Amino acid sequence: MRLLLIEDDLALQANLQTHLQQDNYLVDVASDGEVGLFQGQEYPYDAAIIDVGLPKIDGISVIKKLREQDISFPILVLTARDSWQDKVAGLDAGADDYLTKPFQAEELLARLNALIRRSVGQSSPLITNGPLSLNTKSCQVEVNNRAIKLSSSEYKLLEYMMLHLEEVSSKAVLTEHIYDQDFDLDSNVIEVFIRRLRKKLDPNNNYNFIETLRGRGYKLKRIQSQ
């Protein structure tokens, strides 16, 4: 999952980035509204965390401009102002939830998790697809109730595909959602991860979870429970 974090307080930005990365998120940061808006327009993020009080362009305007361009990823607003007027203004501009500073990191992660799930029409942290289940909260993956150990990159790849079932994702898209922005794009890496995932999830090729569409990308197929 790739996140955009726009926060002007560098210490807070760094702390949040650490927390989010620990929770398997890829985090792009911006320290002012202008850079944040540009990044939000350029990259297909899974969610954004935007502070209200930003230099250059304030947070509310950034949200408004993103929404005006039909950019629909969920947005969590961070605000030091705890009045209902500010909450209403934030959510009215197009944000999906708000969090008042100071907050506990766990609270932020829980809200973010819920927002991302909700944005793909998933209300519980446990996503299942036939014998395959993935818990976005605990980052655990099971096939037929048997726990599967995945590396961080493999988990990120599977989580993204689970949240986008039956959607074709190109190698480029997958790379963007799994690697930091400065990572040198090498499409072979995705191929390697896909091969490993197939092996770990379905060693006997019973389900054929991941389908390859030549020249277009990969798709996680919906499998009816037996």
Partner 1 sequence: MSNLVTKDHTQAASKSKPNGIWPKRWQTNSLKVRLILSTLLMTMILLPIVGVTLSNAFEQQLYISLKNELKASSYSIFTVAEVENSTLVMPELLLDNQFNISQSGLYALITTLPVPSIDSGVKQVQPINSKDPLWQSQSLLTLTIPTLLPQPEVGTTQLTTINLQNHQHLLYSFSVSFSDNGQAFPVTLHLIKDQQASLAALHHFRQQLWLWLLVLMAVFIIVQVVWLLWTLKPLTQLTHELESIEKGEQNALNSRYPDELQQVTQQLNALLVTEENQRNRYRNALADLAHSLKNPLAVIQSQPGINSSGQEQLQRINQIIEHQLKRAQSAGQSAWHLGVQIEPVLDKLLTTLAKIYRDKAITFNVQLESKFTFKGDEADLMEMLGNILDNACKAANGQVAIKITAQHAKLIIEIADDGIGINESQQAVILSRGGRADTYQAGHGIGLAIVNDLVASYQGQLLIANSSTLSGAAFTLIFDL
Chain residues in the site for partner 1 (CB under 8 A): 9, 11-12, 15-16, 18-19, 53, 78, 80-88, 91-92, 96-98, 101-105, 114, 118, 123
Task: For the chain, state the CA radius of gyration.
Answer: 18
Minimum gap (Å) between residue 190 Cβ and partner 1: 32
In the bound complex, what is the minimum distance in angstroms from residue 142's beta carbon to partner 1?
Answer: 24
CA-based angle 58:12:38, to the nearest 5? 40
> In the complex, what is the shortest distance from the CB of residue 77 to partner 1, in angstroms, rounded to a whole number?
11
CB-nearer residue toward partner 1: 122 or 170: 122
Nearer to partner 1 by Cβ, of 27 and 178: the residue is 27
Residue 98 Cβ vs partner 1, minimum distance, rounded to whole Å: 8
